[in-house]
Amino acid sequence: MPVPKGFKTESGYGTIKKFDGKTYHQIADEMTDMGFKMKHSYARTIYINSLKKVAAEISDLYGLEHDDKELLRIAVNADFQESVRDFMARIDSDVNNSNNSSGGFNT
């Protein structure tokens, strides 16, 4: 899972902070404050492993097969991370809009 020091993907660095989120250090500090001792490197590992799972599911959806190394390459790709973020933001927006239009009740 480790990426060489100074590693930069073809599409640049992909970070949570770049997408208006928290840094790995901030996530680790919050988790530690809540009683779950965590270092920033472990926060990154969890994030990247989650993105690998997303990449694997998307690959399966399209009938593609990728080994673990290729899934890691996809997961750390800044363009892929931005696409996942945009998709999740759109879903969140759609859910919020549908809740607001029905007064918060399913009709």
pLDDT tens by residue, 50-105: 999 999 999 999 999 999 999 999 999 989 988 998 898 888 888 888 776 655 55
The conformation of residue 105, written as its DSSP 8-state character, comes to: S
Question: Which residue blocks in the chain are alpha helix, DSSP H?
Answer: 24-33, 40-61, 68-75, 78-101
Long-range contacts of 3-10 (CB under 8 A, 24+ apart): 3/76, 7/76, 9/73, 9/76, 9/77, 9/78, 10/77
Q: How far from the centroid of its chain's Cα atoms is residue 44's Cα?
A: 10
How many C-beta atoms lie closer than 10 Å to residue 97's C-beta?
10
Distance of CA 54 to the CA centre of its chain: 8
- Residue 64, both tokens: 């593609």
Residue 103: the pLDDT is 54
Residue 82 near residue 76 (C-beta atoms within 8 A): no
User: What does the pLDDT read at residue 19?
Assistant: 52
Question: Residue 107 has what pLDDT?
Answer: 45
